[in-house]
Amino acid sequence: MQKIQARYYTNGRIRPVRLIVMHSMEAPEKPETAENVARWFATSSPKTSAHVCVDQNSAVRCVDDGDTAWAAPNANADGLHIELNGYARQKRADWLDAASTATLKNAAKVAAAWVKKYNIPIKHLTPAQVKAGQKGFCAHVDVTRAYPGTGSHTDPGPGFPWDKFLAWVKAEVEGKPAKPVAWSRTLVYTKGKAYMKGADVEAWQALLDELGYDVDVDGLYGADSTTATRKFQTKAKVLVTGTADKTTWQAGQKAKGEKK
Ligand SMILES: [Zn+2]
pLDDT for the residue numbered 180: 67
User: pLDDT grade, residue 24 (50/70/90)?
Assistant: very high
Q: Which tens digits make up the pLDDT trace of 111-168?
A: 999 999 999 999 999 999 999 999 999 999 999 999 998 888 999 999 999 999 999 9
% residues pLDDT > 90 (the chain):
84
**Do 167 and 203 fall into the same domain?**
no
CA 83 to centroid of ligand 1, rounded, Å: 7
Total of domains in the chain:
2
**Do 209 and 107 fall into the same domain?**
no
**Do 111 and 212 fall into the same domain?**
no
Whichever domain contains 236, its CATH number is: 1.10.101.10
> Is residue 76, in this structure, part of any structural domain at all?
yes
> Is residue 181, in this structure, part of any structural domain at all?
no
User: pLDDT grade, residue 179 (50/70/90)?
Assistant: low
User: pLDDT grade, residue 19 (50/70/90)?
Assistant: very high
166/142 Cα distance (integer angstroms) = 16
**Do 149 and 96 fall into the same domain?**
yes
By residue range, what is the domain housing residue 71? 2-174
**Do 30 and 139 fall into the same domain?**
yes
Domain boundary, last residue among 140, 174, 208: 174
pLDDT for the residue numbered 219: 87
The ipTM assigned to this model is: 0.95
Cis peptide preceding 156, ω within 30 of 0:
yes
CA 134 to centroid of ligand 1, rounded, Å: 20
**Do 208 and 79 fall into the same domain?**
no
CA 71 to centroid of ligand 1, rounded, Å: 6
- CA 192, chain centre distance (Å): 27
Whichever domain contains 100, its CATH number is: 3.40.80.10
CA 197 to centroid of ligand 1, rounded, Å: 27
CA 259 to centroid of ligand 1, rounded, Å: 45
**Do 236 and 139 fall into the same domain?**
no
> Is residue 190, in this structure, part of any structural domain at all?
no
Chain mean pLDDT for the chain: 93
Average pLDDT over residues 95-112: 95
pLDDT for the residue numbered 175: 83
Give whichever of 109-113, 178-182, 195-199, 256-260 has the largest mean pLDDT.
Answer: 109-113
CA 119 to centroid of ligand 1, rounded, Å: 23
pLDDT for the residue numbered 260: 60
**Do 30 and 133 fall into the same domain?**
yes
**Do 150 and 86 fall into the same domain?**
yes
**Do 66 and 108 fall into the same domain?**
yes
> Is residue 187, in this structure, part of any structural domain at all?
no
**Do 10 and 111 fall into the same domain?**
yes
CA 185 to centroid of ligand 1, rounded, Å: 30
Strands 79-84 and 52-54: parallel
> Is residue 185, in this structure, part of any structural domain at all?
no
CA 24 to centroid of ligand 1, rounded, Å: 6
**Do 44 and 142 fall into the same domain?**
yes
CA 205 to centroid of ligand 1, rounded, Å: 34
